[in-house]
A and B are shown apart, each in its own frame.
Chain A
């Protein structure tokens, strides 16, 4: 009898531990079939669907978001800020983001003129030809699984399909749908295993994709679309506050679409755009969008109901550079 109890205990223990590695499984070819409409990822946690649970505030930050292409230089857009804020030193910036030309600038050559030395460094780092300071390279060092985060946070963001958005790939690497997340206007959501404690910049990388066969139609690709992005951050109820949902909306006037998989990098300083510490204790988010204009599917902002082709947002990465989590 005792042996049976021990066996039941063992099986029970193993069962309730939850089989961590298989809590989220998918069919082997899910999300990367030839059929465009079968590749959407639509998961949103139930609690985020319930509009009554969270007190929502909406902030429109249109016009205050920077847009870039993945291979554009990110020095003036974000690296300079990282240096100014003391997240990294100039020496680290040179090491991480400097090419040979940057690294060849020698302090000794400037005598005692440090200001000139740093000016030269900044100019060299910000050169369009310095690929090491591109957004592509920046993402490599600042994704949500970078070592700086601490092992527990790093591992939490590595597990599961959401890790497609935290793996530092901000543009297609040849693996096509394997590295991106295709979402429709209802969006996608994720509960984080950790809470955001400190933050400044937020970066999201995405592009539009359609099922339109331009070659068959004999028309040139529509490579831009106007889209309204809607990002919601969720804070759970605490003893001092009710559950909150902070939604930020912004218009993307020219989102890259069907243009050789080139994405649009959208960066914003949330510490300035929202009241102080608004997003402190965020433990989940949803990403939605609304297609406002597309020359083929929604010319002049009016949906062409005769067209059956679909538009999707292809998400590649989200970044909270130098954020802190607990």
Chain B
């Protein structure tokens, strides 16, 4: 049945052209033509409007099987962003506030666009027109191309190893001083901008992680995957090395660990109830300590403050920001988002962590919906990883990239990317409009797993 549907779809020129354009759109999203997210979202809506009638029957079945569970959190999350003040504007705006100044039309486009991008992923997978390797390589190429240009621009502007050579040095732009080690050049659309070097390194470490699976691959890896992944990964690695940002390599650790677990089949040791209980217990303990700290219950922070190690661990600037954001959200003072960057003299936002960023600008409701989406996506991804027939190297690559994105954004989400003060009015890069998130949405649709579908496919084979 599935095969018949695929053949039917593939025989329709309009579908084929639209699917091709859809994949091209995904490439453009990954390329991130500097703030063209809105245009891409509009195009996604149009493509879904064209493609949806052809996938109507399949979609009806899959919605009932769980596709709606994937779509609902994003739909409601988008609705929260309609109300969250930080996405809007105000008559008088101050420097210590974040207003992204989207109008209602733009907010609605972002909302429908997000749903559309998930559906595009779902349609492309369902159609079977493109092989998984082509889809993944297209996405990675989209991330890598601007990285390569940015690497050249950075080397031309700053030379090799500038973070090591110019330690403690400043230069001036527009009358203000900036630390050289914090700078890099980055391609936005057709313009090279001076950005926080973390923006460049984020892209670099993500692209690098894509090639980790190759280290563990057997000889039967296809030439196409081998060459393309090696080249792209090397560009990422070169960026990290040539800018002298070796510490960034730490962010590859989760992906390396995962690859090792797969290689030596270590999951068999942890795939049991006891391990699950231990993990749940550790997570619960972490959450408990965090909550106690955030609300300073039993004056626990005084205890941490007495010891230099615990003081650094639990009461550093980052954690204090997280506590404040968490406290505001879970005491229902911030349900639909806030727009202030600082409270008194304390800087609160951006927090540096994508989840707490969301908790601040999208409020408790928005962050919970985002988290729900991520959990559902993760569950689908695990099912996809365990059951789909795609090449193991590709699946490893996908998980490596997603793991790296997650850990990187847990510690370094670059909400403000431009370095120079003159861009501060437009220096807002929320996660939900970033190319990484839009690609994540696409992958959520693409890897949407319906067990029955695979079983049928097996039978037909």
Contact = CB atoms under 8 A, between A and B. Distances in A.
Contacts of B344: none
Interface stretch (B105-113, B115-123, B158-166): B158-166
B50 interface: no
Nearest to A26: B170
Chain B contact-residue range equals 20 to 34
B175 A28 contact: no
Given A21-B171, A161-B172, A178 B166 contact: no
Given A14-B155, A14-B159, A17-B156, A22 B175 contact: no
B250 interface: no
Contacts of A17: 156
20 contacts: A11-B160, A14-B159, A20-B156, A20-B157, A21-B158, A21-B171, A22-B158, A22-B159, A24-B171, A25-B180, A26-B169, A26-B171, A28-B168, A158-B173, A159-B172, A161-B172, A164-B172, A164-B175, A167-B176, A179-B175
Contacts of B170: 25-28, 30
Contact of A163 (B157, B159, B169, B175): B175
Nearest to A169: B175
Interface residues of A, number: 28
A166 interface: yes
Nearest to A158: B174
A24 B172 contact: yes
A21 B180 contact: yes
Contacts of B183: 21
Given A19-B157, A21-B194, A22-B158, A163 B172 contact: yes
B166 to A, nearest CB: 6
Contacts of B155: 14
Contacts of A26: 169-171, 177
B175 A167 contact: yes
Interface string A144-176: 010000000000001111111111010000000
Given A14-B156, A14-B160, A22 B171 contact: yes
A22 B162 contact: yes
B179 interface: yes
A104 interface: no
Interface of A: 11, 14-15, 17, 19-22, 24-28, 30, 145, 158-167, 169, 178-179
From A21, A24, A163, residue with most partner B Cβ within 10 Å:
A21
B453 to A, nearest CB: 48
A15 B159 contact: yes
Which of B155, B160, B162 is the most central at the interface, judged by chain A CB atoms within 10 Å of its CB?
B155
A164 B168 CA distance: 20
Contact of B159 (A19, A27, A178): A19
A19 B174 contact: no
Nearest to A19: B159
Contacts of A11: 160
Nearest to A30: B170
Nearest to A165: B175
Contacts of A169: 175
Interface in B353-385: none
Contacts of B166: 22, 25
Given A21-B194, A27-B168, A145 B174 contact: yes
B159 A25 contact: no
Contacts of B179: 28
B158 A19 contact: yes
Interface in B76-125: none
Nearest to B162: A22
A28 B180 CA distance: 9
Nearest to A21: B157
Nearest to A175: B176
A26 B171 CA distance: 6
Contacts of A30: 170
A162 B174 CA distance: 9
A191 to B, nearest CB: 16
B171 A25 contact: yes
A165 B160 CA distance: 31
A163 B170 CA distance: 14
Contacts of A163: 172-175
B122 to A, nearest CB: 43
Given A14-B160, A27-B168, 7 more contacts: A19-B158, A21-B158, A25-B180, A26-B171, A27-B170, A158-B174, A160-B171
A145 B173 CA distance: 11
Nearest to A145: B174
B371 to A, nearest CB: 40
A22 B155 CA distance: 11
A27 B179 CA distance: 9
Residue among A17, A25, A145 having the largest count of chain B Cβ atoms under 10 Å: A25
